[in-house]
A and B are shown apart, each in its own frame.
Chain A
């Protein structure tokens, strides 16, 4: 519990520091306060088709500018499906995740952004292994399964990236993430292999990459 308080406290200090710094900028530095952007992570969709099709993930993002900051909400669904004939086992996990955070544009004004920011993230998921076969040439085989188990995890992210206007109301961008996990709940028998939105459950920290295509819904017609 102490570590949770420590992380939340550090995260809040980080969030509080961004607007303080932003207040020193001029009014024209305000970005995208006249529209809301909705995007999808195309890298996650591409990853499924370009790799061995065990990892299916969909992620969407909404961001809106207010004053000098960009407020971001990201959410997604991830499913891992592994079936191996040798050594024989099958494993499934699936779950939802969400992130909330802010970004600060390092460019002054305009539609493009080179940004840094932070996220608080949460995932709720389930996992199971239906058939685990461990074979010993002398003693024979051990066959077991891990029943469905519900678990959750919390982590924080430091993010950085680029968002640029490609054509009218269409934006492209990527976000690089450094994630630090600080709470995991509900594990029984085995740890999950993957936490939706975070990655390898064995690791306490991880890097991530998102590639977004956005559509901007303008609040005003002249934007």
Chain B
């Protein structure tokens, strides 16, 4: 029974490759990516009447915004009053409809408006460490639950990161 010299070379190679494999396998998998929900930029607009009506930014004084049917109706923006021409909100991953309630300061008097959006949710795998997030698509305004003059979704389907643009006419 004769052991060939090349076997020693092979064992050396095995040891080398095995060490590299072990090195990779020992790297702890950590999630450095924050799970991303659907992100929504709401832009407030108004229409200037005339022979040729034009659209322009409108500034609202927002007192609070919360999700309808949320138990604590916690403010999802800053607690302080916010003057805004646009703001970012998140879509609810829990349902295929999200309804926001806006409490707006209208010349010292608070008024409430709502914006309701429907969409399709699809799980999207990120990695073993980070798990899944959701792809949102087919975003649409649910008119019967929306009390603004009108609202329009600029792009109903977007690629990751899920950032939609909705214009609210006020």
Closest to B6 in A: A164
Q: Please tell me if A35 contacts chain B, counting CB pairs below 8 Å.
A: no
Size bracket of the B interface: 35 or more
A89 and B131 form a contact (CB under 8 A): yes
Residue among B67, B93, B122 having the largest count of chain A Cβ atoms under 10 Å: B93
Known: A89-B132, A174-B17. A134 touches B93 (CB 8 A): yes
Closest to A82 in B: B128
A162 and B10 form a contact (CB under 8 A): yes
Q: How many residues of A contact B (CB 8 A)?
A: 40
Known: A134-B133, A164-B7. A140 touches B123 (CB 8 A): no
Known: A164-B7, A166-B3, A173-B10. A136 touches B131 (CB 8 A): no
Shortest Cβ distance from residue A212 to the other chain B in the assembled complex, whole angstroms? 11
A88 and B131 form a contact (CB under 8 A): yes
Contacts of A129 in B (CB 8 A): 123, 132
Q: Which of A1-9, A26-34, A59-67, A189-197 has 4 or more CB atoms under 8 Å from chain B?
A: A189-197
Q: Please tell me if A141 contacts chain B, counting CB pairs below 8 Å.
A: yes
Number of residue pairs spanning A and B whose beta carbons lie under 8 angstroms apart: 107
Q: Determine chain A's interface SS by DSSP, over half rule.
A: strand
Shortest Cβ distance from residue A187 to the other chain B in the assembled complex, whole angstroms? 12
Shortest Cβ distance from residue A146 to the other chain B in the assembled complex, whole angstroms? 7
Known: A87-B131, A139-B93. A134 touches B35 (CB 8 A): yes
B130 and A138 form a contact (CB under 8 A): no
Name B25's contact: one of A51, A87, A140, A166 (CB within 8 Å): A51
B125 and A136 form a contact (CB under 8 A): no
B93 and A132 form a contact (CB under 8 A): no
CA A174 to CA B16, docked complex, whole Å: 12
Name A144's contact: one of B31, B123, B125 (CB within 8 Å): B123
B7 and A136 form a contact (CB under 8 A): no
Name B4's contact: one of A164, A191, A193 (CB within 8 Å): A164
B22 and A50 form a contact (CB under 8 A): yes
Q: Please tell me if B51 contacts chain A, counting CB pairs below 8 Å.
A: no
| Chain A contacts with B in 77-111, Cβ cutoff 8 A | 82, 84, 87-89, 111
Q: Please tell me if B90 contacts chain A, counting CB pairs below 8 Å.
A: yes
20 pairs, CB–CB < 8 Å, chain A vs chain B: A43-B21, A47-B21, A50-B22, A50-B25, A87-B31, A87-B132, A132-B123, A136-B94, A139-B70, A139-B93, A142-B94, A162-B6, A162-B13, A164-B10, A166-B3, A166-B4, A172-B14, A174-B10, A190-B123, A190-B125
Point out residues on A near B: beta carbons under 8 Å. 43, 46-47, 50-52, 54, 82, 84, 87-89, 111-112, 129, 132, 134, 136, 138-142, 144, 146, 162, 164-168, 172-174, 189-191, 193, 209, 211
8 further interface pairs, Cβ-Cβ under 8 Å (given A54-B128, A146-B123): A46-B18, A47-B21, A112-B4, A132-B132, A134-B131, A134-B132, A138-B70, A142-B94
